[in-house]
Amino acid sequence: MSKGNIGVTSDNIFPVIKKFLYSDHEIFLRELISNAVDATSKLKTLSSVGEVKGDLGDTRVRVTIDKKKKTLTVSDHGIGMTAEEVDKFINQIAFSGAEEFLNQYKDKAEAIIGHFGLGFYSAFMVSKKVEIFSLSYKEDAKAVHWSCEGNPEYTMEDTIKAERGTDIVLHIDDEFPQYLEEATIEGLLKKYCKFLPVEIAFGKKKEWKDGKQVELDEENIINDINPAWTRKPADLKDEDYDKFYHELYPMQMDEPLFHIHLNVDYPFNLTGILYFPKIKTNLDVHRNKIQLYCNQVYVTDEVTHIVPEYLTLLHGVIDSPDIPLNVSRSYLQSDNNVKKISGYITKKVADKLAELYKADKDEFAKKWDDIKMFIQFGMLTDEKFYEKATGFALYKNLDGKYATLDEYKDQVRENQVDKDGNMVLLYTNDADAHYTYIERAKAKGYDVLLMDGELDVHIMSQAEQKNEKLRFVRIDSDIIENLIKKEDAAKDTYTDEQKEGLRKAFEALLPSDADKLKYYVTCEAAAADALPVFLTQNEFMRRMKEMSAHQQGMSFYGQMPDSYNLVLNTNHPLIQELVAKETSEEVQEKPTPDPSLKGGENGSEEPKNETIIKTIYKLEGEDERLKQLIDIALLASGQLKGEALAKFVNRSVELL
């Protein structure tokens, strides 16, 4: 038997492992099982090149709990280790500048594990003593027993072990009784080991019989050793992909919309399958479903810095040995490999979508409503994706027809270009509320888009920025004649004073809630068969307000009251009738004296004090009618509610 000190140049490695790695201590199991799987895979490789002769026999990795002895054991039948190898790989934790590094990173657990390759030593996070029993595959090898109680001293001696391979025995610390519980261990195995390439057995299979769980003879295998992403796409059918999706997300009921199988070996290694889930609202519940693997070992489902943000909405797996898994997040962000991977995934996803659109436009259109959130989010946050996405990002009109922006522009070019050469795309976000406006637009032969998605406002603004002479205008943002101005506006014959009188009369009767709601009264010569009074809402202000809900730095717009124009249609007989009822009055107005005219040559001359005669118009005794007209305008755009609505109904009955 030999005793020795573990070759870390610092004494304090154990306290560091125990204390600072505390938060993530469950990863010990992943580390030990990865080592067992590696040792088994290495053996298989040696066997395939003829360096290990004969049948390999049982190669399963087993995890067992002994509650009495309070041990958890990971056993493999891999290559094993000779005493020299244990000394080299376990005793001499070889790294340079250990002390310095430890001091610097005392509290960064993950970085330490990554840097040291401390995989095996993570066992000490949860154990008061760890033992290794190992028999190397090498001819004439002697079995070795290593033991260590969580301090830099260890013992090593020969032992007797019948089977090739390694048993790692953890004497679980009293602080962590959960690691002696079957349910906890099974949970961890399912989390980290579900797709490892070597079978992992844990206990026996169980079955329900007569209301009781009974153990079968068969071992309980935790993992699927050939998960779909490691197989060739040509060997997989759609059903296989769907099945794998449910293997990944047993709680997920919906079928994915479609999938992308990733497979690269240059300039980095990456395989995986990404699924498009249905996303309607609430981006967040769909986030962080992609699982990241490193050679089939589960690492994390936080892929935020590895894939572009919008891709975190996808589901599926990415497996890459080239992603530096154990380093800090800020490092990931600046890592070149990670950037390349992220760029590759973007390109691959965009290409696949383009291909799907080309192959079957109708089929793609059917799925559009479910994937649009994802694509729009990508367009808004990733320039490269935007460029590709213009080829398959769709717009839907009120007839339920879909088209890309370019296709749609061709469709409306003839009728929807204004006199200044701007193409105006009309839209609504609520076809019911805008019914009257839509009817008027249709009567003019205009097409109306349905833009009711959460990101649509942003998508429109982006399209306007990228396309010269393109404007989106909501159907209720002006009178129809002004939405797409074809020639100079029609005029009415009223004087400014007459219109001013009319405006004031209406203004006095508007509901007042100035903090939240503001109305501006305007006179416009709209079509005679349009409503006498109606509301419009300025496109720019409304959109700024909508966008402020999602964007930082725009709270200024968010705090502004909602503002509407109350348009008095001077071409409508009812308004004309009201104008006719206006009474006029002449008032004298003194102009403010012009200081430059002050005084003559000798200073004695008084400034000329001419007065101006002005005609003022007033509309009196028509309040009930005016109120009724205002209410009709409010009603037509869905704004008349509660008490105001009740009053309107009563007044209508009285008028009848």
> Which residues form the interface with ligand ADP (CB under 6 A)?
31, 35-36, 39, 76, 78-81, 89-90, 117-120, 166
- Tell the smallest beta-carbon distance from residue 115 to ligand ADP (Å): 11
Decide: 44 and 131 in contact? Cβ < 8 Å. Answer: no
Name which of 42 and 339 has its Cβ closer to ligand ADP. 42
Residue 6 CA to residue 294 CA, distance in Å, equals 29
Place of tokens 């071409």: 571
Residue 653 CA to residue 629 CA, distance in Å, equals 14
Instruction: Please give the C-alpha separations between residue 653 and each of 373, 415, 623, in angstroms, as whole numbers.
Output: 47, 43, 16
Name which of 91 and 571 has its Cβ closer to ligand ADP. 91
Name which of 84 and 605 has its Cβ closer to ligand ADP. 84
Name which of 121 and 506 has its Cβ closer to ligand ADP. 121
Tell me the two tokens of residue 377. Answer: 């989010």
Decide: 341 and 320 in contact? Cβ < 8 Å. Answer: yes
- Tell the smallest beta-carbon distance from residue 119 to ligand ADP (Å): 3
Q: Which runs of consecutive H residues, i.e. helices, occur in 468-533? A: 480-483, 496-507
360: Cβ–Cβ under 8 A, 6 or more apart, which residues? none
Query: Which sign does the torsion angle of CA 115, 121, 123, 127 carry?
Result: negative
- Tell the smallest beta-carbon distance from residue 162 to ligand ADP (Å): 16
- Tell the smallest beta-carbon distance from residue 74 to ligand ADP (Å): 7
Name which of 61 and 441 has its Cβ closer to ligand ADP. 61
Name which of 35 and 312 has its Cβ closer to ligand ADP. 35
- Tell the smallest beta-carbon distance from residue 33 to ligand ADP (Å): 9
Name which of 65 and 325 has its Cβ closer to ligand ADP. 325
Name which of 76 and 524 has its Cβ closer to ligand ADP. 76
- Tell the smallest beta-carbon distance from residue 75 to ligand ADP (Å): 9
Name which of 91 and 312 has its Cβ closer to ligand ADP. 91
- Tell the smallest beta-carbon distance from residue 31 to ligand ADP (Å): 6
Decide: 24 and 108 in contact? Cβ < 8 Å. Answer: no
Residue 201 CA to residue 593 CA, distance in Å, equals 101
Residue 633 CA to residue 249 CA, distance in Å, equals 51
Tell me the residue nearest to ligand ADP as measured from the CB.
119
From the list 470, 432, 427, the residue with the least C-alpha distance to 449 is 427
Residue 131 CA to residue 168 CA, distance in Å, equals 6
- DSSP one-letter code for 354: H
- Tell the smallest beta-carbon distance from residue 92 to ligand ADP (Å): 10
Name which of 91 and 570 has its Cβ closer to ligand ADP. 91
Q: What is the gyration radius of the CA atoms in the chain, in angstroms?
A: 38
Question: Residue by residue, what is the 3-state secondary structure of 411-472?
Answer: HHCCCCECCCCCEEEEEECCCCCCHHHHHHHHHCCCCEEECCCCCHHHHHHHHHHHCCCEEE
- Tell the smallest beta-carbon distance from residue 84 to ligand ADP (Å): 12
Name which of 51 and 247 has its Cβ closer to ligand ADP. 51
- Tell the smallest beta-carbon distance from residue 45 to ligand ADP (Å): 13
Name which of 117 and 203 has its Cβ closer to ligand ADP. 117
Query: Which sign does the torsion angle of CA 106, 107, 109, 110 carry?
Result: negative
Tell me the two tokens of residue 372. Answer: 């649009």
Name which of 294 and 375 has its Cβ closer to ligand ADP. 294
392: Cβ–Cβ under 8 A, 6 or more apart, which residues? 353, 354, 356, 357, 364, 375, 404
Name which of 37 and 303 has its Cβ closer to ligand ADP. 37
143-148 β-sheet, strand order: 2-5, 153-159, 143-148, 127-135, 165-172, 71-76, 61-66, 200-209, 212-221
* Angle made by CA atoms 87, 89, 94, in degrees to the nearest 5: 100
Name which of 118 and 273 has its Cβ closer to ligand ADP. 118
Residue 611 CA to residue 352 CA, distance in Å, equals 78
- Tell the smallest beta-carbon distance from residue 354 to ligand ADP (Å): 41
**The residue type at 339:** K
Residue 172 bridge partners (DSSP):
127
- Tell the smallest beta-carbon distance from residue 148 to ligand ADP (Å): 13
- Tell the smallest beta-carbon distance from residue 76 to ligand ADP (Å): 5
Instruction: Please give the C-alpha separations between residue 441 and each of 444, 484, 485, 531, in angstroms, as whole numbers.
Output: 5, 10, 13, 14
Q: For residue 207, count other CB atoms closer than 10 A to its CB.
A: 11
Decide: 396 and 450 in contact? Cβ < 8 Å. Answer: yes
- Tell the smallest beta-carbon distance from residue 100 to ligand ADP (Å): 20
- Tell the smallest beta-carbon distance from residue 122 to ligand ADP (Å): 8
